[in-house]
Amino acid sequence: MHIHNVYFWLKADVTDSEKKEFESGLTELIKMPLISEAYWGVPAGVDREVVDGSFDYTLTMFFETREKHDVYQVDPEHKKFIDQYSHLWDNVKVLDTKASDGIN
C-alpha cells in the first residue's frame, strides 16, 4: 500500500467562492479509479504542541501499489487539477508513505 498525503497552504486572498471550487476539484480528483481510497479535509483544530494545523487543506490517497501511484502522477486528470488550481496555493507539501502490512 502506498499512501500519498498532500498539504495545501492557500494564498491569503483566496475567496470563499474559490475555496468551494477547490473543494469541488478535490472531490472530483479522488474519484479517479487508480485510487483505492481517498479523503480531503481541513485542520481538525487540535490544540497540542506537536500538531501542525497551519495548512488549509489536506488530501490523503491510498494506492494498492507504488506503480499505481506513479501512473496517477502523470495522469491527465491529475495534471488538469494542478493546472486548474495551482494559482490558489502558496505552498504544497507532499508526504508519501509505504504502509506496513498491518498488525500480525
On whether residue 51 sits in a domain, the answer given is: no
- Is 68:34 a contact under the CB 8 Å cutoff? yes
- pLDDT reading at 28 higher than 90: yes
Q: Quote the mean pLDDT of the chain.
A: 95
- CA-wise closest residue to 2 among 94, 103, 104: 94
**pTM of this prediction?**
0.91
104 pLDDT band, cuts 50/70/90, is low
On whether residue 10 sits in a domain, the answer given is: yes
Mean pLDDT across the stretch 69-84? Answer: 96
On whether residue 48 sits in a domain, the answer given is: no
Which domain range does residue 25 map to?
2-43+60-97
pLDDT at residue 102, rounded to an integer: 64
On whether residue 35 sits in a domain, the answer given is: yes
On whether residue 67 sits in a domain, the answer given is: yes
* pLDDT tens per residue across span 88-103: 999 999 999 998 876 5
Expressed in angstroms, the distance from the first to the final Cα of the chain is: 16
Q: Report the alpha-carbon distance of residue 88 to residue 82 in Å, rounded.
A: 10
Output the domain CATH number for residue 64: 3.30.70.100
Burial environment of residue 26 by CB neighbours within 10 A (0 to 12, 13 to 18, 19 or more): buried
Mean pLDDT across the stretch 31-57? Answer: 95
